Amino acid sequence: MTDRIVLAYSGGLDTSVAIGWIAEATGAEVIAVAVDVGQGGESLETVRQRALDCGAVEAYVADARDEFAEQYCMPTLKANGLYMDAYPLVSAISRPIISKHLVAAAQQFGATTVAHGCTGKGNDQVRFEVSIQTLGPELKCIAPVRDLALTRDKAIEYAERHNLPIETTKKNPFSIDQNVWGRAVETGFLEDIWNGPTKDVYDYTADPAFPPAPDVVNITFVQGVPVALDGETLTPLQMIEHLNRRAGAQGVGRIDIVEDRLVGIKSREIYEAPGAMAMMAAHQELENITLEREQARFKKMVDQRWTEMVYDGQWFSPLKKNLDAFIDESQKYVSGEIRLELHGGRATVQGRRSETSLYSFDLATYDTGDTFDQSSARGFIDIFGLSAKTSSEREQRIHGAPDLSGAGVEK
């Protein structure tokens, strides 16, 4: 029986050429797998037919937009997933869901190997292969660009020689990856980190320097997940799409970062994630009023570790699952409504309300109605500072009083 290889297929030049390239290099039949995670562009049927026209023996296509929004974007939101406090894991969270479908296709069609289009110095090769090996330990992985010497020049020449139904002459100056959660742009003149991004870099966001009138939105959350926008109930996918349009029109969610890649390279990346960044601002503020102080402090550490693991391709790892459990439990009371003003590239919190809020007006107010017992403060301070006071007394007993001469007011 002829070996079969499943290929992660985008419908573009490189993966279209990879179908025949892999077949010639390995003698295997190629099954193309296209997964829609909200990247836009051509229909899945068009992509499926192109794969068959380029030589695939089978074409597996999946509309995974709702699955992606519910099972990958929402956990990222609950974890406040911002790598290096800036990048909302746009590409990192799409790789595990694509890998899941690649493994499902391999099992369905009897393939022994999975192929992807990554280079040898990026993060995505790790994300794909670790996910594939975790979900399908029996599967092998290959990368035509990395392992079979498929360069862009060779891809163009191959497509023209074989009359493949794919555009070969137009070359975008950037490398772009996008889905409903956001858009990632790199290479070209952006690799000189002194160069600022030009207008043609952006697609999801308008120029924040020339914004329309401010747009105020009310986002309702239930247990950490946004469920309604301005009182209208929406699915996670609809929520992201609506806020991509509204926040994007205000230039919200533009990110320019020199990023520490997993493979040890620093890489300049431009991201657009208007809906994600608006929801992240709202979610973090709702946590501020619903999480207990020590719980909130510890969750920040968990969030950071969760984010690092997802960035590093460990979506399906045991520790990531453990962290998921903690994060989900922490969201039990993260319900309520946040009012955001979207304007000039910013998502600014204007109002908060929640039936499960820990904020007490009666405790916080300095006016009539204050229920805080101020007489308890003195004893609290004495106990809170006791260890530092005891240590200081020891220092002064052994070394003498500290020199405070430089602490006075100059005359």
Q: Which pTM was predicted?
A: 0.93
* Catalytic-residue membership of 14: yes
Residue 15 assigned as binding residue: yes
- Cβ neighbours of residue 163 under 8 Å, at least 6 residues apart? none
362 among annotated binding-site residues: no
- Active site annotation includes 175: yes
Q: Which residue has the higher pLDDT, 145 or 217?
A: 217
More confident call, 119 vs 396: 396
User: Is residue 305 flagged as an active site residue?
Assistant: no
User: With contact defined as beta carbons under 8 Å apart, do 114 and 102 qualify?
Assistant: yes
Domains recognised in the chain with CATH numbers: 4-171 (3.40.50.620), 176-291+333-353 (3.90.1260.10), 361-396 (1.20.5.470)
User: Between residues 253 and 166, which one has the greater pLDDT?
Assistant: 253
pLDDT band of 305, cuts 50, 70, 90: very high
Query: Cβ contacts of residue 152 below 8 Å, gap of 6+?
Result: 13, 14, 171
Alpha-carbon gap, residue 208 to 120, rounded angstroms? 36
- Answer yes or no: is 12 a known binding residue: yes
- Say if CB 245 and CB 238 are below 8 A apart: no
124 labelled ligand-binding: yes
The pLDDT of residue 166 is 83
Better-scored residue on pLDDT, 368 or 103: 103
Question: Tokens standing for 68?
Answer: 């992606």
State the DSSP code for 407: G
Type of residue found at 56: A
> pLDDT (tens digit, 9 = 90+) per residue, 52-96?
999 999 999 999 999 999 999 999 999 999 999 999 999 999 999
Tell whether the model's pLDDT for residue 32 goes beyond 60. yes
Catalytic residue among 4, 50, 95, 346: 95
User: How confident is the prediction for the chain on average, in pLDDT?
Assistant: 94
- Which is the catalytic residue, given 124, 246, 268, 312? 124
pLDDT digits (tens, 9 = 90+) for 125-175: 999 999 999 999 999 999 998 998 888 788 889 999 999 988 765 566 788
For the question of residue 403 being annotated catalytic, the response is: no
Contacts of 183 (CB under 8 A, 6+ apart): 90, 176, 177, 203, 204, 271, 272, 273
